[in-house]
Amino acid sequence: MESILPAYLKSYQSKDLFKKSESLFGMLKSCCICPRKCGVNRLEGKSGFCKTGLKAKVYSYMAHHGEEPPISGEKGSGTIFFANCNMSCVYCQNYEFSQLGQGKDTDSEELSRFMLELQGMGSHNINLVTPTHVLPQILKALEIAISKGLNIPLVYNTGGYELPEIIRLLDGIVDIYLPDMRYGDEESAIKYSCAPDYPKYNQESVKEMYRQVGVALIDKQGLIERGVLIRHLVLPNNISGTEKIMKFIASELSPETYISLMSQYLPYHKASEFKDISRRLIEKEYEQAKELMKKYGLSNGWIQESYGLERFAGVNIKPALRKDL
């Protein structure tokens, strides 16, 4: 079977990518590209909740070997870590750049060069980590990179606090969606991530992602070419609402949906200030989450033990090298 060409190539040729990029940039005048709808004029360098003005800020980029097996493959995922975020998770392991803003202001030309450099390193895809708040800048960089030969798939790697109407604009551009489904209950989302209405926005957006690209399509080399792969971080004391999320996936998407069930939670950043999440996950809690996957007939995906990520058949993961900016 021949490899599927990235969807954005057709959108670029039809000028649809340009139109969507311009539309999104226009939204920055009174920013409304995420559920917060801060309304600040980012075109003038002002910033709202995400602390980001006109330019995207990049913390690092790398050929990353620590993602799920069909994302990383043998040569790595071309990962770009954007600074700042439209959430504020009290337990974020990347808080130095997601909340404290470490990184380098980067214009679209430079961002396009990162994409092309990652492709030149042999990366299987361009993996955009926390892209929501800088989506207009990403699409502008994508246009430039395509004109210079970019031709590997895009991975939209998001915390899941999205507007479905913005995700709808990515139809025909993004090949692979890698969203978190972090919370089943709004109360927890507000308390631990300052994300009102997270379940509503998250579920509606994930449904739109699934409408666009469907169940993950894995090629003969074990690489994902297109589709949705959902991450669920299991939190202590069932803060994540795992059963509600598994039930949603099985009933509203498909029992064939690929899920990465993560056990890696550690009480980073401010987590020690919150009793219910001030400790590591215990084995019993993760086993209960695995049982919930089985209960709802969800058998595609990966489980994560203390020694790393593995598919149910078992896959070894290599350490990553990165370029900090």
Q: What is the pLDDT of residues 64-77, one digit of tens each?
A: 999 999 999 999 99
The model's pLDDT over 222-241, given as tens digits with 9 standing for 90+, comes to: 999 999 999 999 999 999 99
Please give the full DSSP string across 95-122, using - where no structure is assigned: HHHHTS--SEEE-HHHHHHHHHHHHHTT
pTM: 0.94
The model's pLDDT over 288-303, given as tens digits with 9 standing for 90+, comes to: 999 999 999 999 999 9
Query: How much of the chain, in percent, has pLDDT values that exceed 70?
Result: 93
CA 241 to chain centre: 19
Instruction: Return the pLDDT at 15.
Output: 98
Q: Residue 178 in contact with residue 229, Cβ under 8 Å?
A: yes
Q: Residue 192 in contact with residue 119, Cβ under 8 Å?
A: no
The crossing angle, in degrees rounded to 10, of helices 108-120 and 135-147 is 60
Place of tokens 């994902």: 224
The model's pLDDT over 46-100, given as tens digits with 9 standing for 90+, comes to: 999 999 999 999 999 999 999 999 999 999 999 999 999 999 999 999 999 999 9
Instruction: Return the pLDDT at 2.
Output: 58
Calculate mean pLDDT across residues 5-14: 97
Please give the full DSSP string across 31-82, using - where no structure is assigned: --SSTT-----GGGT---TT---SSEEEEEEEEE-SS-HHHHTTT-EEEEEE
